[in-house]
Amino acid sequence: MRRKGFLVSVWPWRALLHALTTPLVAAVAAAPLAPVGVLWAAAVVKVVRGEAVSGVVPVAALLLGAALAAALPVLSAPVAWAERWRLVLLGDERLAAVRPAPGLGAWVRSRYLTAAAWRETGYAVLLALAGTGLGGVLLLAGGVPLAMLLAPLLVTPDSPLVVLGWRAVTPADGLWFTAAGIALVPVLAYAVGLLGAGHLLVGRALLRGDEALRAELAEVAGSRARLVDRFDAERRRIERDLHDGAQERLVGLTLRLGLAKAELPENEDVAAAHDQAKRLMVELRELVRGIHPAVLTDRGLGAALAELADRSVVPVVLRAHLPTRPPAHLESVAYFVVAEAVANAVKHSGAGEVLVRAGIEGGGVVVEVRDDGRGGADPAAGSGLTGLADRVAVVGGRLSLSSPAGGPTVLRATLPLSG
């Protein structure tokens, strides 16, 4: 529908072909219901005529209906197969189907035990109910413009043409019908296109196999992981640039101001500039550590956590056992989980002591931060916990928080080494 030049392209014809074949496929999908319909119709006719209805007929209809309902997951498979090919007419790639293990038994089990098979069953039922009525709608919607286009050939004085209350008696009158029919062609083309677009949306939702959904999910997860890797690489680059560039120049400036202060001890401006340079150097050092501490890259997670504990204004007890270095991206996530948790303990909990544990457990990196503060931490209160949860989820990990009122608060992150 959004394609440029839709009306003069092949897409209205493809959508029309799809719409014309829909009632045929719907009739095939509804065919298994025909015996049940015949039995119930026969019973209704007898009731209307005042004849007695044998109890065998309703019972047979119910039993046959139950059997067909039980077989629907199997019967819907060929309908779903055909529909996947028909959706190609609408410009979509052929959707991936359910792929069970080899063997008839495995295939039958998959028709009853997989969500994708039940989605196909729902699609087949929906097609049987809605698609059969589509034939009449198409006959009316397409027949009227077609009759109007051919009006000069169809009308005669003995058999006038009446369409939507308009009457044509002569071929000259039919020309007005033809003009109106030409005006209706674009409307019909867009209507068929909209019908096809709706059918395509339903097909994509119900006929996409679990493998396709898992592939999309894996692609999204991989894309998020690649973004995080690039983000971490950019953080490390900024840290190196600041450490090797601006920070070194600031250290040199501070030393020169210190020498000037020694030579001019009574000059208050020089002394103030020296003090300001020292404060700025401290702030820049903290900024660099917050972006990506160099010790994390050079010496690993254990050393970075030890430095973090030494800098904390609240006493931090560190118990780290990391016999081997985890991957760099896991070290980064683990470090910032601990850093955020310690910062929250300092700012919000009123803790007197923080305990940090880090190690390898069960095939993953586990970090845990426990404080003896007042508790009651709320992830929705802007404490950075939501961002940490997103960061942990990107690497396939889990973040858990326990913070009852009165404490203690325990934040635990588990980051898998594989996957």
Say if CB 134 and CB 16 are below 8 A apart: no
Same domain for 161 and 276?
Answer: no
Residues 28 and 176 in one domain: yes
Bond prior to 323 in cis (omega within 30° of 0): no
Q: Are residues 254 and 352 in the same domain?
A: no
Q: Are residues 81 and 150 in the same domain?
A: yes
Last-in-domain residue among 292, 313, 347:
292
149 belongs to a structural domain: yes
Strand partners, 410: 370, 402
Q: Judge if 159 and 236 occupy the same domain.
A: no
pTM: 0.44
* CA distance linking residue 410 with residue 407, whole number of Å: 9
Same domain assignment for residues 149 and 268 = no
| Token reading at 321 | 């056992």
Residue 213 lies in a domain: no
Handedness of CA 191, 196, 198, 199 (dihedral sign): positive
Same domain for 53 and 96, yes or no, is yes
Which domain range does residue 258 map to?
A: 218-292
Given a contact cutoff of 8 angstroms between Cβ atoms, the answer to whether 401 and 344 are in contact is no
How many Å from the N-terminal Cα to the C-terminal Cα in the chain? 41
The reply to whether 379 falls in a domain is yes
121 plus 222 within the same structural domain: no
Q: Is 1 within the bounds of a domain?
A: no
Same domain, 69 and 166: yes
Q: Are residues 234 and 194 in the same domain?
A: no
Instruction: Check whether residue 247 and residue 279 sit in a common domain.
Output: yes
Of 233, 263, 292, the last residue of a domain is 292
* Residues in a beta bridge with 168: 161
**What are 367's two structure tokens?**
């970090």
Q: Residue written as tokens 């969500």?
A: 115
- What's the rounded Cα separation, in Å, for the pair 383 and 346? 12
Q: How many domains does the chain have?
A: 3
Query: Can you read off the two tokens belonging to residue 96?
Result: 């991936």
Which residues, listed in sequence order, are joined to residue 367 by a DSSP beta bridge? 358, 413
Domain boundary among 208, 243, 276: 208
- Helix and strand numbers (H, E) in the chain are 14, 7
Does residue 228 sit in the same domain as residue 183? no
Read off the CATH number of the domain in which 339 is found.
3.30.565.10
Spatial distance between the Cα atoms of 256 and 252, rounded to a whole number of angstroms = 6
Full pLDDT tens readout for the chain, 419 residues: 555 677 777 788 888 887 888 888 888 777 776 666 666 666 666 666 666 656 666 666 667 767 777 777 888 778 888 888 888 877 766 565 556 556 777 777 877 877 778 888 888 888 887 776 776 676 666 666 777 777 777 776 666 666 666 666 667 766 777 777 777 778 887 888 888 777 788 887 777 765 555 555 556 556 666 666 666 666 666 656 555 556 566 666 677 767 776 777 776 776 777 667 666 665 556 555 555 677 777 888 888 889 888 888 888 899 988 888 888 888 888 888 888 888 888 887 778 888 999 998 888 899 999 988 888 777 666 556 777 787 788 788 888 888 888 878 888 999 888 75
